Amino acid sequence: MLTLDEIKKAVHDSSELSKQGENVEAMKLLDERINQAVKSHYSRAMQILCRHASVIAEHSGHLQEAKRYRKMLAEVERESR
């Protein structure tokens, strides 16, 4: 299971990659962490990471990826109710 520190690090590291123009790498890093959160059924981590990934994807023009992240986020939020 992901720890809070690992989630924070993923957000920080992906933000830094995005600032350097490495948006695809940032999304790959977030995808890895999202997959870990999915496997451990850690819905709060999935929400944080999907929301952050959708912002990076949309900002960098990867609109299909942004849509995919938002869809994942909506599914998690629906299941969390």
Query: Using one digit for the tens of pLDDT, what is the confidence trace for 2-51?
Result: 999 999 999 999 999 999 999 999 999 999 999 999 999 999 999 999 99
Which pTM does this prediction carry? 0.94
Domain boundaries, the chain: 4-80
Q: Do 57 and 65 meet the contact criterion of CB atoms below 8 Å apart?
A: yes
- Cβ-in-10-Å burial (0-12, 13-18, 19+) of 68 comes to middle
CATH number for 4-80 (one of 3.30.200, 1.10.10, 1.25.40, 3.30.450): it is 1.25.40
Task: Kindly state the DSSP code that residue 78 receives in the 8-state scheme.
Answer: H
Q: How far is residue 69's CA from residue 57's CA, in Å, rounded to a whole number?
A: 9
pLDDT for the residue 4: 94
pLDDT for the residue 81: 76
